[in-house]
A and B are shown apart, each in its own frame.
Chain A
Amino acid sequence: MSSVLFFIAAIGAVAGAIGVITLENPFYSVLALVGHLISLAALFLLLRAEFVAAAQVVVYAGAVMVLYTFVVSYVGGSAAPGRGDPLGRPPGATLTLAAWACGGALVIELFIAVLGSGLKGISGHGAAYSPNFGSPQSIGDLLLTRFLAPFEIASYLLLIAAVGAVVLARRRGGVDEDDGTGVPVITAMDVFRPRPPGTGTMAEGVGGRAYMAEASGQAQHLAEPQASGQAQHAAGPPATEPVHAGAKEPGA
């Protein structure tokens, strides 16, 4: 029974992996990877790793793959078909062939390394294990006693990755869009100066529409000094522009 399950899961995992690299559309590649991950979770179950199998299905096949699906839908399918197809169109036919050869050589090398190693342990069914081997209890016990430092470091790594992803993928510009006046300079006074409504300040987020209405009323009240400030701001660039143009011309 367990060998039948093993072969079903192994064939599913390998077929999913082949699907990931051969399917033309990235969306189908992601779906193939989901199938691959679920088959792999079945293999983990056969190896008595219940908690890791559950985490694999919930975290990997669930959350991470949803993230992939969203990004593939956002970015769109294959924008440049033909270049990257495994069938090998003219631009990189030789290179694609070489890549297949490298992959085949890697398979042979890994099989020799793993199966030709002559180790006696890997041909057995494994050592005897305690009944709660691989259970959430034993995993949690290990994580909070012996592997406490890796556990904490992994949590910091997740935090850093989350912040980094937000910084990488955020939308640049916005209200302070570059209007040809150069890089916007932020001074300490900007913290105390009232910002124009609709710029997503913390107070707006808390106060909602009521704060917006109040702020826009205030903005009309403050229209006079702001207008003069804007006029000064607008008067700046024409004064500097000719200087820039004059400085550039000799170089050109």
Chain B
Amino acid sequence: MSIEWYLAVSALIFAIGAGGVLIRRNPLVILLCLELMLNAANLALIGFSRMWGNGDGQIFALIVMVVAACEVTVGLGVIVAMHRLKLPMDVDDIRELQG
């Protein structure tokens, strides 16, 4: 398969993830949608790495995975803290920073 097919799949997954962030209101599912977008970017990076026959894109994808793991850890910590404080699991109701 040519690289453009992989790029098309990557674009589709990214759009699904972005749409999920807009549609869903549960913070857990929003974190999952962020993962979808990061993975779509990873697929594009690895596709371009294959296109050039160069390993740099794969290193970039690995670093993106590290950043995603950090984001998950902190995000889940926030969600556990929200659960402890008995806050509603809905991002529309949590708007203290919004004023």
Contact = CB atoms under 8 A, between A and B. Distances in A.
B52 to A, nearest CB: 6
A100 B56 contact: no
Nearest to A10: B9
Interface of A is mostly: helix
Interface of B is mostly: helix
Range, interface on chain A: 35 or more
Contacts of B71: 161
Contacts of B24: 21, 84, 86
B73 A165 contact: yes
Interface in A87-120: 96, 99-100, 102-104, 106-107, 110-111, 113-115
A138 B23 CA distance: 41
Interface residues of B, number: 72
Contacts, number: 252
Contacts of A104: 15, 19
Contacts of B25: 83-84
B80 A56 contact: no
12 contacts: A10-B9, A52-B61, A60-B68, A63-B69, A68-B32, A103-B23, A110-B14, A114-B10, A125-B2, A126-B3, A169-B76, A169-B80
Given A110-B15, A133-B53, 6 more contacts: A51-B58, A64-B72, A79-B88, A80-B89, A124-B2, A142-B55
Interface of A: 2-3, 6, 10, 13-14, 17-18, 20-21, 26, 29-30, 33, 36-37, 40, 43-44, 46-49, 51-52, 55-56, 59-60, 63-64, 67-68, 71-72, 74-75, 78-80, 83-84, 86, 96, 99-100, 102-104, 106-107, 110-111, 113-115, 121-130, 133-134, 138-139, 142-143, 146-147, 150-151, 154, 157-158, 160-162, 164-169, 171
- In the A-B complex, list the 7 residue pairs whose CB atoms are closest, starting with the nearest: A103-B19, A21-B20, A84-B25, A127-B53, A168-B77, A161-B70, A99-B22
